[in-house]
Amino acid sequence: MEKNNDSKFQIKILPSFIEEFGIIVNYIANELCNKNAAEKFLIDVLNAIESRSLYPNVFEKYVGKNKTKKEWYRIYIGNYTIFYTVENNIMKVAHIIYSGRNYETII
């Protein structure tokens, strides 16, 4: 899914993010039986990504133990962390992970 907006950078949501995000929203809505919280979380995540797309590469880079070739950036939303990369003028949103998890196994 790609989105054009008035920002300098295009947003590209990768399938890995869509899958992880769907699991989280489904868990909040159905397992925790809190559809309002799931909807608020969904809106907060989408707004954070949209807001960050204005200047996605001016934020601190994530440096993990496993040195990867990609430069990763983070967005914190409650107990979750969104990971994205910036390539050319595209902000590629790749993962949303519970902040208590070990990022190194995923990133």
For residue 100, the model assigns a pLDDT of: 84
pLDDT in tens, 26-70: 999 999 999 999 999 999 999 999 999 999 999 988 887 666 678
3-class DSSP string for 1-32: CEECCCCCCEEEECHHHHHHHHHHHHHHHHHC
Residue whose C-alpha is closest to residue 81's, from 69, 89, 70, 93: 93
18 band by pLDDT with thresholds 50, 70 and 90: very high
Q: What is the pTM for the complete model shown?
A: 0.85
Domains of the chain: 2-105 (3.30.2310.20)
4 band by pLDDT with thresholds 50, 70 and 90: very low
For residue 83, the model assigns a pLDDT of: 96
pLDDT in tens, 66-107: 666 789 999 999 999 999 999 999 999 999 999 888 877 777
